[in-house]
Structure 1
Amino acid sequence: MESETDEKPCKESQLIEKGLPLDWLVRAHSARNMETLVYLYDQRQKWINEDQKLILTILQDYENSGAPPIPENEPPLLRRRRGKVATSPECPKIFIFTCQLLDLIKEEPTIWDKVNCTNFGYHQPMRQAWCSISLKLGGWGAMPHVQMLKQLYRRRRDQYNIDHLRLGKPFVYSEKLSFLKNILETAKSDTWSSEISLADHIEACEPKIDYEEELKEAPEFVQRIISEISSRIDQVSAQHSPETLAHYLTKCCNQTVANRERLAVSELFEEPVEQKVPEESKFENT
């Protein structure tokens, strides 16, 4: 009888033999166009019934090996209709993908419902919502993939708001975006005041971060990092120029957010993902 240790390599080999694209995660990290978005979504649909944790492990091993994208897996070009999206989709595959994206966004009011959702605009729940959508669309929570999804959503939302709601033009995604109608019309009917303060504008428009609550709910290792950063700031602020301090803070922030994508896929694992705390490096005076 095979042990679990022997069974895992066997299952990995079976997935690879079935044609699992080993560079799937690599391509998610370099998502730059609609061809890649559609390709990643197609892979998700194709492999949805397989062990997702095992697939991710295989893909991470390939990415960590430093291997490049496999030419044979290059996403095919999509034949698109030129011009602005209006009464018909630019490409059937893009239309299907965009509809799926909008359906998933509708299920995440944290992203769009600034009237009724108490979590709207807060960094952590919004990030979690987008990473969840990315996972369901084959992007594994990779930040470039998330950014592409955000851009596509914002373009279609703005087209719906301006062309359809304000100008009354037909729009191919109007039904899928109808959940935004009341939100957008409420924003449109708000009386604009030329005397609004900058602080009011920032409060109304920018994502809000409850720093105390975020820190309270953060893992212990994050709290430790923040505490160490705070101590180091106190030390160097009296010894170095603002430019040097800015460089140091940038480096600290980059280390703090390095685990974002790893946390995005942690729900695929039964055991909590072990967090890697970056080793404290010597302060560089540049």
Structure 2
Amino acid sequence: MRGTATWSGTISLGMVAVPVRLYAATEEHTARLHEIHVPDGSRVRHRRFCSAEGREIPYGEVGRGVALPDGRMLPLSEDDLARLPLPTRHTITVAGFIEPTGVVPISYDRPYYVAPAAPEAERPYALLVEVLSRTGLVAMAKIVIRSRERRAVLRPYLGLLLLQTLRWRDENRDPGDLAHLAPAVPLSDRERRLAEVLVQEMTGVDDSVDRDGYAHALEQLVDAVVAGDTPAEPPGPEPVADLMTALPARHPTKQPSKGGRKKK
């Protein structure tokens, strides 16, 4: 496993404890735009400024605190935070196992690879990977990462365990007023069959060539500006076509299947 572990602890599974480490499973390669002072093009820096003393302070003087109801700030030291009465501070506590469909898709957050942290952990770790692979279930758990307790799921992935943190239910926004925008139009059987034909035609995705189109476009823009050329005009949106006319136009002889077997 490459990289530095971001978390060390155990998976608590009933009476079984498996020592593990977490490693970041993703990294960003996004082209980054910096804030600049427009008149002279210089970088804009954000500094740590103490409002009480009216001066910039070094990172070593920066701590953490909690705002009290009366407006005062209560400082909390690292020793204070180390005494948090949370059983999940160094433990991935498994509550049970469910079908993956039981996890609301909007809840998924950050993924981590989970690796055994000691030789004695390898067998129970491998057994957990195997049983999750065979049953198709995921483990629901809780974990504390970066001073926050999170729900999480454990699932097998490429022979390893993958832990993916989940947002709490009250962090997921209800569509609210957007719900009324869901179309409530009657659909005909022919429309449904045409849509199924389109889906079947587009089944399967080749993602072997996977790159950030924005980063590539930004590189082209920078090259053009540096060379003194006029940047190319961005492509316009594709014209919107109605499904009922677009699909028959692409396949004039293709008829959507009505299902069932033909009578002889």
TM-score range, shorter chain: under 0.3
Question: Larger Cα Rg: Structure 1 or Structure 2?
Answer: 2
Structure with higher RCO (Cα < 8 A, 6+ apart): 1
Name the TM-score, length of structure 2 as normaliser.
Answer: 0.24
**TM-score under structure 1 normalisation?**
0.23
Q: Answer 1 or 2: which has greater helix percent.
A: 1
